[in-house]
């Protein structure tokens, strides 16, 4: 193995001291171990440079001895730099660093589990509140869930879905908007928001959400199907026809397409549009985004 070199050893030592000052014990100990291991394997540094390097290593070991994880194992204060024992000190610091990293990961796992348990508890309580007809309490619980655990995947969308299912589609809409702020490519949130608007008698808003879905994530079969249903409900037959044909261009033989076309085809042209009757796939283009 090539010698580490005095410059590299000094850099590792300086990094260890800086990390220790920031309270990053495990990383500090790893860097200190690297410096000591380099010194143990280097026979090219000699004379005054070696003396200066050993002084730096002595300073380093004294600092590492004060790191909480080391101090807890060395109540008698025996950890000190000794010439020729650099390798053993490196092994010791690596061992302590490993234990510190394991403890940190255990604590992080415990924190994640506690957060998951709390989030699930809040959602259960919200579901129970909805079942009991206590809707203000349900909203408070859902707000608490989303505010405390915004990093939880789908949390805003799930909260909105509960309110929409309970019959409060417009109360659900701000939750879906938050979900889309967090992820503009959340296709489920667009569909849920559009469904909420449709349930609330706001087809124009529903269409806006579906067009936004096409803009941000493309014309997925789910979005096109929702758009077709929306246009059928709004008796916009030409637009419904285009949406179904676009759906079929992506997913030929879609199980709902035939039923929709059976309702749409006798009425194509009745809304003043120019929908084609050829049955050829039509790709929806929304140029005014």
Non-local (6+) Cβ contacts of 211 within 8 A are: 286, 289
Whether the full predicted model's pTM is greater than 0.85, yes or no, is no
Q: Is the pLDDT of residue 218 over 50?
A: yes
The confidence band for 273, taking pLDDT boundaries of 50, 70 and 90, is: very low
Q: Report long-range pairs for 139-148 (Cβ below 8 Å, ≥24 apart).
A: 139/163, 139/171, 142/175, 145/119, 146/175, 146/178, 148/118, 148/119, 148/122
pLDDT in tens, 167-214: 999 999 999 999 999 999 898 999 999 999 989 999 899 989 988 988
Q: Minimum mean pLDDT among 13-22, 202-211, 252-261, 264-273: which range?
A: 264-273
Contact 155, 145 (CB under 8 A): yes
pLDDT in tens, 67-118: 999 999 987 778 998 888 999 999 999 999 999 999 999 999 999 999 999 9
Question: What pLDDT, on the 0 to 100 scale, is given for residue 162?
Answer: 96
In whole angstroms, give the CA distance from residue 221 to residue 89.
62
Question: What pLDDT, on the 0 to 100 scale, is given for residue 270?
Answer: 63
In whole angstroms, give the CA distance from residue 287 to residue 190.
19
In whole angstroms, give the CA distance from residue 35 to residue 16.
9
Non-local (6+) Cβ contacts of 129 within 8 A are: 135, 137, 138, 141
Contact 76, 37 (CB under 8 A): no
Contact 242, 268 (CB under 8 A): no
Burial 113-139 (b: 16+ CB within 10 A, else e): eeeeeebeebbebbbebbeeeeeeebb
Percent of residues, the chain, with pLDDT higher than 70: 91
Question: What pLDDT, on the 0 to 100 scale, is given for residue 3?
Answer: 55
**Extents of the domains making up the chain:** 6-106, 219-289
Show the tokens assigned to 235.
């008796």
Show the tokens assigned to 175.
């939750």
The candidate with the shortest Cα–Cα distance to 236, out of 285, 275, 192, is 275
Cβ atoms < 10 Å from Cβ of 244: 28
In whole angstroms, give the CA distance from residue 190 to residue 46.
69
pLDDT in tens, 5-57: 788 989 999 999 999 999 999 999 999 999 999 888 777 767 788 888 889 99
Q: Minimum mean pLDDT among 87-96, 111-120, 215-224, 267-276: which range?
A: 267-276
Burial 54-82 (b: 16+ CB within 10 A, else e): eebbeebbebbbebebbeeebeeeebebe
Question: What pLDDT, on the 0 to 100 scale, is given for residue 32?
Answer: 95
The confidence band for 128, taking pLDDT boundaries of 50, 70 and 90, is: very high
In degrees and rounded to multiples of 5, residue 140 shows phi and psi of -60, -40
Q: Which residue has the higher pLDDT, 157 or 288?
A: 157
- DSSP classification of residue 286: -
């Amino acid at each position: 193995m090539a010698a580490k070199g005095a410059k590299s050893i000094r850099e590792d030592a300086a990094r260890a001291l800086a990390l220790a000052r920031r309270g990053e014990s495990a990383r500090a100990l790893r860097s200190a171990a690297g410096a000591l291991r380099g010194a143990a394997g280097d026979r090219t540094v000699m004379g005054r440079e070696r003396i200066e390097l050993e002084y730096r290593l002595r300073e380093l070991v004294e600092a590492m001895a004060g790191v909480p994880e080391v101090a807890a194992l060395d109540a008698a204060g025996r950890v000190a730099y000794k010439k020729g024992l650099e390798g053993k000190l490196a092994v010791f610091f690596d061992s302590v660093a490993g234990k510190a990293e394991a403890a940190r990961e255990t604590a992080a796992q415990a924190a994640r589990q506690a957060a998951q348990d709390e989030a699930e508890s809040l959602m259960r309580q919200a579901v129970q509140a909805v079942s009991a007809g206590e809707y203000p309490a349900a909203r408070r619980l859902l707000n608490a869930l989303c505010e405390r655990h915004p990093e939880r995947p789908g949390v805003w969308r799930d909260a909105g879905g509960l309110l929409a299912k309970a019959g409060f589609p417009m109360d659900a809409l701000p939750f879906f908007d938050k979900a889309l702020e967090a992820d503009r490519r959340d296709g489920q949130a667009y569909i849920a928001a559009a469904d909420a608007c449709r349930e609330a008698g706001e087809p124009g808003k529903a269409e806006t959400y579906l067009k936004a879905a096409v803009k941000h994530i493309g014309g997925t079969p789910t979005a096109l199907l929702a758009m077709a249903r929306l246009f059928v409900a709004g008796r916009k037959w030409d637009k419904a026809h285009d949406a179904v044909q676009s759906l079929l261009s992506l997913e030929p033989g879609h199980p709902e397409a035939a039923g929709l076309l059976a309702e749409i085809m006798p009425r194509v042209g009745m809304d003043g549009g120019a929908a084609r009757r050829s049955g050829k796939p039509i790709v929806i283009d929304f140029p005014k985004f």
